[in-house]
Chain A
Amino acid sequence: MLRFLARRLAMALVVLLIVSFTTFVVGHLTGDPVDLIAPENASREAKEDLREHLGLNKPLMVQYGSYVWRALQGDLGFSFVQQAAVSGLIAERLPATLQLALTGFVLSILIAVPLGIFIALNRNTLWDFIATSLAMIGQSAPNFWIGLMLIALFAVQLRLLPVSGYGGVSYIILPAITIALQSAARLTRLMRASMLEVLNADYVRTARSKGLRERSVLWVHSFRNAMIPVVTMAGLELAELIGGAFITETIFAWPGVGRLAVNAVYQRDFPLVQGVVLFAAAAFVVINFLVDLLYVVIDPRVKLS
């Protein structure tokens, strides 16, 4: 188990190194930060002083090293556009993002797991056909477009819910459904496939041959086994929702990290974009690692190998 977790941890660090290096290099391609910060009429000497003050005259790798060192301490840089620390800006927006991501995630699990099991048990029925077709279509339509159509229908035509913004419960319904539908489409298909595979497994036949009640066969001998791949995928989904619901946040004017990033792109606020990318990668890596830990709990084969 320790070996498994150590390998995963090493992988996580490698991912963060690759991502941080990419964002660092791309950040440097965007131009001389000194030009952005210094007043336009600043003298050459003043600029050089500033450069030295910021450590920008040092070799690239040294700069990268201090960038990583500062990031490890929670300093993701300074947004010159917003005149604020990047980590502070992200921390400020994080609660809204978590609120939306977790709501959408719970909603998608509540749809996908029961529905996937139901259609696996009733495979090749009309229900199965309808649900798998809808899931297939849900996976194919652009998610933000589904969000826009939900706005057009429920907010504009029926006037049931607000178009966008942040406030009471009514504001979170449409964006949460939007992100839940996409993730539920994927998870439902996986849950169905996984359940079907388990129901065909030899050990389920053994459970039946012992005369166990069908209820035990399903919940004790099939459900947990079928959840193993679903848990992995659900972890990826959650990570993606936390680090990547930026288009949904944008169209619903949801004041989260994703919208922060999109606005930063528009304002060419590169330190901020860089910081959010790194944050998203970190969220991804951390959640994946938590999923790995969860794996150890639900699959005893991992614990002992």
Chain B
Amino acid sequence: MRGFRPAGRDTLGLIGLGILLAAVACALLAPWIAPFEPTAINLPARMRPPFWLEGGSVAHLLGTDNLGRDMLSRVIFGARISLAVGAAAVVVGAAIGSSIGIIAGYFSGWVDLILSVVINAQLSFPFTLLAIFLLATLGGGFWPVVLVLALGTWVNYARVVRGQVMSVKNQDYVHAAVSVGVPTTRLLRTTVLPNTVSPIIVVASFSMAQAILTEAALSFLGVGVDGSNPSWGTMLNDGRAFLQTAWWLTAMPGIAIALTVLGGNLCGDWLQDRFNPKVGG
């Protein structure tokens, strides 16, 4: 047992990146790699278990659902919705959070005080219930879900960006640039932005994982993205009714979510380690 060396940070990070890339490939290439149409109903072949169980077949590797639709194809197509929601939430959240973080960090004073109160307030509040409330009252759909998810993650960006801006702002070359009259916007673009890229990437990686998890929870509760193409969370909700007879309807989309989120978390850990090396155990 002694002297056992677990896989290095880099290995784990690359595994995470590999998982994420595989998920993205599934999403992009779904029509070509999925063996069936995800919506093709085939009642004679309904409720088939995965291939390794009795009654399963190689034609439907992960089994079929209550309408005989192929689970593997549905999981592959589900990646499209889940990843699209996650990616859009990251982009929107990063845009909102970084802008606010830059403003808070750069202008200090009252603006900064108000924003840090808001940031702290949101960090100390359970967000999902509020998200359900908002979506239930205002209606679901792709963009509402994305907006709500962005609303839940922007503070993370705002916090790190604010910190970076504050530290960059006090460096000599920035003082020098201000004193010779370089415009503020240009300063922000040339000195602050490059320094905030790596923390934003780290936060984005974790937020992507977080967004996919939250989207699954929202869809599971029926306030998520609606559409003919179900996300993994919607599939979990659909499968739940058959938990007693066909557990794989619930298991497969859950595994897809867990793997993708794991990929995001591993990537995030790895990038954080790379950008901010700290001697660890």
Contacts and interface: CB of A to CB of B under 8 A. Distances in A.
Interface of A: 11, 14-15, 18-19, 22-23, 26-27, 29-30, 120, 123-129, 132, 136-137, 139-142, 144-145, 148-149, 151-152, 156-157, 163, 193, 196, 236, 239-240, 243-244, 246-247, 250-251, 261-262, 265-266, 268, 270, 273-274, 276-277, 280-281, 284-285, 288
B77 interface: no
5 contacts: A126-B1, A136-B265, A152-B243, A265-B132, A276-B129
Given A145-B257, A277-B133, A244 B126 contact: yes
Given A19-B125, A276-B129, A145 B2 contact: no
Secondary structure of the A side of the interface? Answer: helix
A26 B209 contact: no
Interface string B111-134: 000000110110011101110111
A251 B244 CA distance: 13
Nearest to B260: A140
B217 A140 contact: no
A139 B16 CA distance: 14
B132 A124 contact: no
A247 B220 contact: yes
A102 B220 CA distance: 25
Nearest to A126: B4
B244 A142 contact: no
Contacts of A270: 137
A156 to B, nearest CB: 5
A147 B128 CA distance: 18
Interface of B: 1-2, 4-7, 117-118, 120-121, 124-126, 128-130, 132-134, 136-138, 209, 213, 216-217, 220-223, 233, 236, 240, 243-244, 247, 250-251, 254, 257-259, 261-262, 264-266, 280-281
Contacts of B262: 136-137, 140
Nearest to A132: B6
Contacts of B6: 124, 128-129, 132
Given A14-B121, A142-B236, A262 B261 contact: no
Given A18-B118, A142-B217, A29 B137 contact: yes
Given A125-B1, A126-B1, A273 B133 contact: yes
Contact of A125 (B4, B133, B221): B4
A129 B266 contact: no
A285 B243 contact: no
Given A128-B6, A132-B6, 9 more contacts: A139-B265, A142-B254, A142-B261, A152-B247, A243-B129, A244-B128, A246-B128, A246-B132, A250-B221
Contacts of A246: 128-129, 132
A29 B4 contact: no
A258 to B, nearest CB: 8
B145 to A, nearest CB: 15
Given A277-B130, A284-B126, A149 B254 contact: yes
A148 B258 contact: no
A288 B125 CA distance: 10
A199 to B, nearest CB: 8
A148 to B, nearest CB: 5
B236 A148 contact: yes
B130 A140 contact: no
A23 B221 CA distance: 20
A101 to B, nearest CB: 12
Given A29-B137, A149-B251, A277-B130, A15 B125 contact: yes
Contacts of B124: 11, 15, 236, 284-285, 288
Q: Which of A125, A243, A265, A284 has the most CB of B within 10 A?
A: A265
Contact of B138 (A29, A265, A273, A281): A29
Contacts of A145: 216, 236, 250, 254, 257-258
Contact of B129 (A30, A156, A244): A244
B133 A251 contact: no
A265 B266 contact: no
B121 A284 contact: no
Nearest to A151: B243
A265 B117 contact: no
B281 A266 contact: no
Given A148-B240, A152-B243, A240 B126 contact: yes
A142 B125 contact: no
B133 A142 contact: no
B247 A156 contact: yes
Nearest to A199: B281
Contacts of A120: 281
Among B5, B138, B251, B254, which residue has the most Cβ atoms of chain A within 10 A?
B254
